[in-house]
Amino acid sequence: MNFLENKIALITGASSGIGAATAKKLSEYGVNLILTGRDENKLQQLKNSLQTQTLTFAFDIRNKKEVEKFVNEILSITHIDILVNNAGLALGLEPIDEGDIEDWETMIDTNIKGVLYITKPIFKHMKERNEGHIVNLGSVAGKTAYPGGNVYCATKAALHSLSESLNIDAFGTNIKVSTIAPGAVETEFSNVRFKGDKQKAKKVYEGYVPLSAEDIADTIVCVLNTPPHVNIQYVDIMPTNQRNPYMLYRDS
Report, as residue numbers or ranges, the catalytic residues. Answer: 152
List beta partners, residue 185.
Answer: 211
What distance in Å separates the CA atoms of residue 4 and residue 56, rounded to the nearest whole number? 20
* DSSP per-residue string spanning 106-121: HHHIIIIIIHHHHHHH
Q: How many CA atoms lie within 13 A of 211 on its CB side?
A: 24
What distance in Å separates the CA atoms of residue 166 and residue 162, rounded to the nearest whole number? 6
End-to-end CA distance of the chain: 43
Contact 159, 115 (CB under 8 A): yes
Contact 223, 180 (CB under 8 A): yes
Sign of the Cα torsion 235, 165, 114, 12 reads: positive
